[in-house]
Amino acid sequence: MSDELSPTYSPAGLEVGIYRQWEKAGVFAPSGHGSRVMGRGALEGRNASHDSRPTTQDPFVTMMPPPNVTASLHMGHGLNNTLQDVLTRWARMRGRPALWLPGTDHAGIATQNVVERLVAKEGQTRFDLGRGPFLERMHAYVDVTKETILGQLRSIGSSADWSRTYYTFDEHYSEAVREVFVRLYEKGLIYRGKYIINWCPRCLTALSNEEAEKEERDGKIWHLRYPLADGSGSLVVATTRPETMLGDTGVAVHPEDERYQALIGKMLALPLTDRRIPIVGDEAVDPEFGSGAVKVTPAHDQTDFEIGKRHDLAQIDVMTPEARMAETVPLRFQGLDRFDARKKVVAEFEALGLLVKIDDHRHAVGHCYRCGTVVEPRLSDQWFVKMAPLAKPALKAYADKKVKFVPERWGDIYTQWLEGIRDWCISRQLWWGHRIPVWYCDACGSKHASRTDLVTCPKCRGLLRQDEDVLDTWFSSWLVPMASLGWPEETEDLKRFYPGTVLITAPEILFFWVARMIMAGLEFRGKVPFHTVYLHGTVRDTQHRKMSKSLGNGIDPLDVIEKYGADALRYTVISGMAVGTDLILDPKDLEISFAPGRNFANKLWNAARFLLSNLHGAPRPLAGAYREVIRREELTLADRWIIARCDAAVRESADALEKFRLNDAASAAYHFIWSDFADWYVEAIKPRLYGDVPGGSIARAVAYRVFDTALRLLHPVMPFITEAIWQKLPGRTEGELLARARWPEADQRASDDGALAEFALVQEVVTALRQIRAENGVEPGKQIDATVVAATPAMRSALTLEDATVRRLAKVAKLTVGPAPTGAAASAVLSDGSTVIVPLGGMVDLAKECAKLAAERDRLAGMVANQEKKLSNEQFVARAPAAVIEGERKKLAEWTEHVSKLNDRRRALGC
């Protein structure tokens, strides 16, 4: 194995090779053997990269939300799977058998739509092919595509156990689906009935309430006049869907509404038809909506359906499955699209003088969650699951704290949904999916739910026909925590890995998937399937719009990986995702979004190259120092400081990961590596590494240990680059992998508040001197003198111990502690009350600097005067928005403060 890193970091080839190493070594399998928690800190240099002793810790188990077999990677996948991977890698490094179980979803509606479009390009429909050949075509297509998304997930570093990959259409998984259906059917929790369901005219299938996504739309309310049949007057009804009036079978008013009490029981002549309909009194009517009288169309509205049942009103379906007007309406409307029929109905009402008025109205309109088509409430025979009996234990599990949500607010939303839950429509009018396991006998009229296919009727031995519908895709997905582990068989995996640990997913499928999995787990296993649900934010663009194909504002993660590397993508999504917040990325400028991750990788790579060149360039006996115990008295202030900062970073990272603050964990590793280690410690020890001063052996040993620890802390977030560097560190043997290395444990012996405080003063002095140089235009290579006045004991100690470091980093020829020097000088007050002063005589051209400062002061003073004049203008202040006024006042304050600072600098220079 080569000891050197390439001059520049190039992730393209490196990441593929590293991933192959992990897979070949079987890193992703939840072994009962492997790493344990690191028990020694940075002061103790024992080589502790791998330990084959068995662990006694409970498994860490998380389930991958199964992506669709036709899907391609998008930033939502990138975020969700990176979050899962970070927590899985962390658990693995802590010695827990870690199972991240991957899988794919057959995705009924989405997949059938894709293949139907392919068939349409050949001039055919699925009906032309027939059910059998069409399903063969579906399976052939999916066999090719279902591995694509999993391969793309590998490209972002997902450390899932691919050997256990499930597919919701696998034979065994399908058996589990049937088992659940039959059990619920036998308990009376599954039934078939005629109810109002959400219907997609594009996908030609029923949808559950959750699949009909509500979108706020600007619409209209039409006020229509319905004459009384006896000619004695009329009623005005308000509706947002005038086309459905052709299916009205009644008008409802509130029974206590004094305006209409005398009309209850009378008949209306329904316009545009020859039908008479009754006026009924029903408490479901809101007297405040519209006119207080509502048209009742029992076949096309859930509330109307319930009103119709209470008053025995007829149910007239006025639309075809494609949302065209059916034969149940007058001939002139038949065949019209529903929205064209709306226009024609309104026009005819206007022509008859029965259109009272039209109001603007913003309301929620249901759309198909797959194709975006406006759904149609429709009366239909469908299969349902009674949800209330399943919801009750799920509510209790949350109340009993057997499952928690991160952020906590989602627990309240979960509770509200379960408390108001409606029965779940589980049948879909598709061919692709788990076919409903119910058979009908036309001979004796019986029906049978069965775990196995039936041919003849168990009652009369007549021939059977199977139900044509398939099950909702979510009916298979809600079984993921069980069926993916072998249920209903009591497999070893099921015993070991159920229940799981944490589910990481997006809030939009809280009801689709998360709540239903909890219900299924309690119903069929008696335990919740996971103890924690982490619901992360959504990936949005800079206008805060959710990224989507339809908006054209998405980012392809594969493009990002190709340009910047997977680690840059991972660092960006993790560092930008705080608990309870969304991730904002700019799809128009990938450089802005992802370059920080790329830059961090380059910084880490260069720091590693520098360190390795000095470690490997040392005499061989010094390599032993990496494994020797270092005595405290051998350490410099800088050594003690970096060891203490390393220990703090370990604590910060672990605490953040425990609380799902993954962004804070990434930040802790970032700041330790970039600032503490690379910018300060490496610079402080260079003279020792180069042999200019004694202590090189100790400096190498400390640098080695803290850098090794830093790589471990960063590994879950940026696994590829950390693995590549870690394998190059001295002492590594062939086959040792950072992915299996132990997570660092905090070590109380590394704590050193004194070192942290004193080195912080060193940093302050250096920073202040650098700022003074910059502000006064001191040439970069020019040496300066500096004096620290009113130094505290801590400051004196720090400067004594790290005098050479301050002088070298700030380019100081002479550093003294004592009284303030006379003459023109620049100064800065430090946090401990001391002041650092730099004499400027001979450093800068004082006359020229005074003139420059005066010119800048005068320019700003003029701006201040103009701004004061603007803000004293009463008309401007009265007319301008409050936000504008506040902005102008803020400018004035900033400019005034800047003028004051310029005057201070002039006085310091003796101008």
At residue 709's C-alpha, the angle toward residues 705 and 711, to 5°, is 120
Q: Is the dihedral of CA 401, 404, 407, 411 positive or negative?
A: negative
- Per-residue pLDDT for 615 more than 70? yes
Which H, E and C letters describe 797-860, residue by residue? HHHHHCHHHHHHHHCEEEEEECCCCCCCEEEEECCCCCEEEEECECCECHHHHHHHHHHHHHHH
Question: What is the average per-residue pLDDT within 654-673?
Answer: 96
pLDDT at 844: 66
Query: How confident is residue 33, by pLDDT bands cut at 50, 70 and 90?
Result: very low
Task: For residue 711, give both structure tokens.
Answer: 């790589």
Q: Which of 195-204, 457-466, 583-592: highest mean pLDDT?
A: 457-466
Concatenated DSSP letters of 360-415: EEEEEEEEETTT-PBPEEEEEEEEEE--HHHHHHHHHHHHTTSSEEESTHHHHHHH
pLDDT at 36: 29
101-148 tens-digit pLDDT: 999 999 888 888 889 889 989 999 899 999 999 999 999 998 888 888
Whether 391 and 203 have beta carbons less than 8 Å apart is answered as no
Whether 42 and 646 have beta carbons less than 8 Å apart is answered as yes
pLDDT above 90 coverage of the chain, percent: 60
Distance CA 522, CA 391 (A): 10
Question: What is the average per-residue pLDDT within 36-59?
Answer: 41
Q: What share of the chain is helix, strand, coil (3-state, %, to 5)?
A: 45, 20, 35
Query: How confident is residue 732, by pLDDT bands cut at 50, 70 and 90?
Result: confident
Concatenated DSSP letters of 218-251: EEEEEEEEEEBTTSS-EEEEEES-GGGGGG--EE
pLDDT at 619: 39
Q: How far is CA 16 from the centre of its chain?
A: 25
Q: What is the mean pLDDT of the chain?
A: 88
Distance CA 500, CA 523 (A): 16
- Per-residue pLDDT for 716 more than 80? yes
Query: How confident is residue 229, by pLDDT bands cut at 50, 70 and 90?
Result: very high
pLDDT at 204: 80
Task: For residue 653, give both structure tokens.
Answer: 């990272």
pLDDT at 780: 85
pLDDT at 243: 93
- Per-residue pLDDT for 40 more than 60? no
563 vs 31, higher pLDDT:
563
- Per-residue pLDDT for 569 more than 90? yes
Least confident of 201-210, 237-246, 716-725, 835-844: 201-210
Distance CA 253, CA 852 (A): 82
pLDDT at 73: 82
- Per-residue pLDDT for 652 more than 70? yes
Contacts of 763 (CB under 8 A, 6+ apart): 680
290 vs 244, higher pLDDT:
244
Distance CA 611, CA 608 (A): 5
Least confident of 217-221, 365-369, 529-533, 743-747: 365-369
627-638 tens-digit pLDDT: 445 778 889 999
Question: What is the average per-residue pLDDT within 36-52?
Answer: 33
Distance CA 426, CA 390 (A): 15
The length of the chain is 911
At residue 764's C-alpha, the angle toward residues 842 and 679, to 5°, is 100
Distance CA 670, CA 699 (A): 22
Least confident of 464-473, 612-621, 731-740: 612-621
Concatenated DSSP letters of 472-492: -HHHHHTTHHHHTTTTTS--H
852-862 tens-digit pLDDT: 778 888 898 99
pLDDT at 550: 67
Contacts of 800 (CB under 8 A, 6+ apart): none
Tell me 206's DSSP state: E
400-450 tens-digit pLDDT: 999 999 999 999 999 999 999 989 989 998 899 999 999 999 999 999 999
- Per-residue pLDDT for 483 more than 90? yes
Closest CA to 640 of 631, 653, 651, 649: 631
Q: What distance separates the 2 farthest-apart alpha carbons in the chain? A: 115
Concatenated DSSP letters of 6-35: -SS--HHHHHHHHHHHHHHHTTTS--SBS-
275-303 tens-digit pLDDT: 999 999 999 898 887 788 999 999 888 88
pLDDT at 374: 85
DSSP H helices, 617-728, are 637-658, 662-671, 682-689, 696-714, 719-726
346-388 tens-digit pLDDT: 999 999 999 999 988 777 777 776 677 888 888 888 899 999 9
